[in-house]
Amino acid sequence: MRTHTALVMVTGLSLGALAFPTFSACGGSVAPAPPDEIPDASSAVIAACNASAAAVCGLQTKCNPAAQVQDYGDAGTCLARQKTSCIVSLVTPRTGANPAHTTGCAAAETLESCHDDLDLVIASACTQVTGPLTTGTACLRAGQCASGFCAIPPQSVCGTCAPPPAEGASCLALTTCGQGLTCHDGVCIRFVTADGGACDQESKECGAGLQCVGSIAAGTATCMPTATTVGATCDPTGTLFGGCDTQLSLFCVSDEQLSTYGTCQSKAVASDGMPCGGVHGIETLCASGTCVKQGDAGATCVARAPDDAPCNTVTGPACLAPSRCLGTALDGGTSGTCQLPAAACP
């Protein structure tokens, strides 16, 4: 089962190492103006980004509502933030990205199935555009590079153009594996999408709607379907059959003392400062926040920080996407300020 969009509880690990990549300044940084005030944000750019945001957020609302709750809190915030990210991307100097390609990709995404979306199957209309920058040249986005890939190290805002990583390549020094692949346990992998496909939760992670069931140690584990409705039967142990679809905000009740044991139930939603994690047998999502372990006091939701607010990549808060936590060298780069990505490397 895809686990990176399920409940995230921070227990001393870096937020950036989990689900919220963070960045430090690359020689300084300049945050762009609000989206409708960005220079060169023409009416065509704004229209294309409205379409793109609607497609992206619409798919997330339908296919991965759990991620939308945690990342944005609601669909309206998703739309606004995705539009901002898109506009900044389109006005980036020397990028191959353009309104026509963005609009075409948005149209294709509206027809995409949830499985294709979550399993990173790329529609032909959304194939990575390329730019004029050669390998080794400083870059901010993949669309600037002739290779179609910008290798950005963790804790950096800009990187260098490079060939896209191959399946099985290390991603310990990258923030993304490029199109079609995801970084899992430090390795670029492609999801196993076939029911009955071999899995190991390492290099062979099950795709959307599937969970790795059976003995991984014995090499007999296979991907099996997860339940998608409240009240459906599930296996809390994950040894006999599938659990519940976490993307749909479901969890399999594992407390044998509860009458709902072995059934799928909806995760509760908690606000900033409220308890989270497994509370009285109920799993919880933090609305636009992260579940952070607070020592012996359990775990509480820490709201995502707005633009220009303090952030911390270990203890939280994380930034509201697409802002990045630009850190300082004073504490190893864990604390900083949430800033929108610039349109060019400093």
- Structural domain boundaries in the chain: 9-339
Q: How many CB atoms lie within 10 A of CB 312?
A: 20
pLDDT tens digit string along 77-89?
999 999 999 999 9
pLDDT digits 0-9 by tens, 286-301: 999 988 887 777 889 9
| Cβ–Cβ under 8 Å, residues 326 and 10 | no
Give the pLDDT score at 20.
30
Helix (H, G, I), strand (E, B) or coil at 124: helix
Q: Which single residue is written with the structure tokens 């379409």?
A: 51
pLDDT of 111 over the 70 cut:
yes
- What is the spatial distance between Cα 217 and Cα 98, in angstroms, rounded to a whole number? 48
Residues 6+ apart with CB under 8 A from 234: 226, 227, 241, 242, 243, 244, 252, 253, 262, 263, 264
**How much is the pLDDT for 6?**
33
CA 60 vs. chain centroid, Å, equals: 11
14-44 tens-digit pLDDT: 343 333 333 333 333 333 344 444 555 789 9
Kindly give the pairing relationship between strand 9-10 and strand 289-293: parallel
Select from 105, 110, 107, 103 the least CA-distant residue to 47. Answer: 103
Is 246 in contact with 5 (CB distance < 8 Å)?
Answer: yes
Give the amino acid at 28.
Answer: G
Q: What is the mean pLDDT of the chain?
A: 84
Categorize the per-residue pLDDT at 2 as very low, low, confident or very high, splitting at 50, 70 and 90: very low
Q: What is the pLDDT of residue 328?
A: 60
Q: Residue 332 and residue 154: Cα distance in Å, rounded?
A: 13
Q: What is the mean pLDDT of residues 186-191?
A: 94
DSSP-derived secondary structure letter, 27: S
Task: Name the pTM for this structure.
Answer: 0.82
Of how many residues is the chain composed?
Answer: 346
